[in-house]
Every structure is written in structure tokens, then in C-alpha cells.
Chain A
């Protein structure tokens, strides 16, 4: 079974609008971390936001927020006030365990295009 599922291959959003990128995950480990990365055309992986499985509050980082619904095993990324520079691939990832000792499992990604 896929550990991370991103069902939106591509998304379009109008500049200054908000957009939600979907991510569901599958694990039996009670301790895990969820990540979102942005990958522009240059290829670098840019860390956006992190949510630990025991975190009570949804994570927020500037214009990024993570809508963590543990019972549904979903970790959607919300980008508010979209900017043209937000156009990129976005990957959801999960690590089992709460330290950095284990690898990340990545979803297939969502290509976001911001329309002026």
C-alpha cells in the first residue's frame, strides 16, 4: 500500500487566492512526522512545514498551514494569498518515528500553477 497519496497531479489557483493541496497517509506507527516540500524547476527541495503525530495544533509557517486530520489520516497543505512564485511541484512526505533517523516516503506530487 502507498504510504503517501497525493491525488491531484495538477492544480491551478488565481493569484492572491488560497489553495489546498491534498495528502493522505498510511502508517501503523503511532509516532510519525508529516512534511511538505516545494520543488521548483531548479530541482532543490525546499522545506515548507512539519507536523508531528502528537502535535495538538495544526502547524503554520507564514502563508503555509497544514490541516492535520489524524482520524482521516490526512495532512493537507493550505497556501494562502498565492503568489506567482508559488508555482512549483509540491510533495507531501512522511517519516515513521519522530527523529530524523528514518527516511522519508514521498507522494507523487502536485504541480501547482498560479495564474496572474
Chain B
């Protein structure tokens, strides 16, 4: 199947700093990318949906000024956690879809963020 990469796989940052997570579709053009967050022992919760070249659509309760999403090209979306706090520590997973050609969503391997 299609490959989606995420970088970094793990990151530790200090409270108050910002961290950027990249999500790349390696062998297809992703018209839509999704960002999910998963707290320990919980399910995946959608944070936002981004379409290439347009602003992301955020889910209720997700602060768009804190979680900046950029989908500048058909193969790259970035999530920047600004002014991170310990409660932002979580597992962030992106998925990518080429919805015109496939029903599947392809997930990245996830990024584990720890804010100290």
C-alpha cells in the first residue's frame, strides 16, 4: 500500500517552545490530510482536516492558533504545536487520502510528543 512518513517519530521539548511535525505522502499525491491525536489508552480523535492549498478545518475544541496546520503541497502537511504545555503531550498521527482514486486513508507511523 501507499506510504506515509512522519518526522520526527519522537520529540521531547520544553514547556513554552514550539515543535513542528511533518507528514509526507511518499508515493502518491494526497488531496486531503488528517491530523489525529491519541492520548494513552484512548482512541484517535480528529484534530483537523487539511486540503492542499486551503486552510485547515479544525474540530470543535481544537485551538487553531495553538495547532498550526499547513498543507502547502500535495505531499506534505505540517502540524506545529506552539507554546507547548505538558498537557499537549500525546501521540500525533497523520493520515493521507487521495480520495479521487481510493477509499483508503494511509496512516503515518505517528509522533510521540513529550513536553517537559
Q: Which residues of A contact B (CB under 8 A)?
A: 33, 37, 42-45, 47, 50, 52, 91, 95, 98-101, 103-109
Q: Name the one of B44, B100, B104 contacting A47, with C-beta atoms under 8 angstroms.
A: B104
The interface residues of chain A, by DSSP majority, are classed as loop
- Known contacts A99-B99, A104-B105; decide if A45 and B93 are in contact (CB<8 Å): yes
Contact across chains for B42 and A100 when beta carbons are under 8 A apart: no
* Chain A residues within an 8 Å CB radius of B43: 91, 106-109
Contact across chains for A100 and B112 when beta carbons are under 8 A apart: no
How many positions in chain B have a CB within 8 Å of any CB in the partner chain? 27
A-B contact pairs, 9 of them (CB 8 A): A33-B103, A43-B38, A47-B104, A50-B103, A95-B103, A100-B32, A106-B43, A106-B45, A108-B43
Given A43-B93, A50-B104, A103-B34, output 7 extra A-B contacts at Cβ < 8 Å: A43-B91, A43-B109, A44-B107, A45-B93, A101-B31, A104-B105, A109-B43
Most chain A beta carbons < 10 A, residue from B31, B42, B98, B99: B99
How far apart sit A98 and B31, CA to CA, in the bound complex (Å)? Answer: 15
